[in-house]
Amino acid sequence: MKCQKCGVPLKGLRAMICKHVFGVKRSEKHPHLCNKCEPKACAKPAAKKKKKGKR
Ligand SMILES: [Zn+2]
């Protein structure tokens, strides 16, 4: 079983290695994709941070 986008192994020993080395694992919502290729609909990255008053 591999990720359909990037082809990383999602199951087995190689998947464990990838998980430890690259932090890539199988997506829970999208079992045919890894967590890096899954569509991120609900996860909103904090792109803009407002910092004030640090001078
Ligand atoms: Zn992938």
Residue 7 lies in a domain: yes
Residue 9 lies in a domain: yes
- CA–centroid distance, residue 13 to ligand 1 (Å): 17
Residue 1 lies in a domain: yes
Burial class (CB in 10 A: 0-12, 13-18, 19+), 26: buried
Q: How many domains does the chain have?
A: 1
Residue 17 lies in a domain: yes
Domain of 32, in residue numbers = 1-38
Report H helices in the chain: 13-21
Q: Which two tokens stand for residue 43?
A: 């996860």
What would the pLDDT profile of 7-47 be if each residue is shown by its tens digit? 999 999 999 999 999 999 999 999 999 999 998 765 566 66
Residue 51 lies in a domain: no
- CA–centroid distance, residue 23 to ligand 1 (Å): 11
- CA–centroid distance, residue 25 to ligand 1 (Å): 8
Residue 43 lies in a domain: no
pLDDT value at residue 6: 93
Residue 12 lies in a domain: yes
- CA–centroid distance, residue 34 to ligand 1 (Å): 4
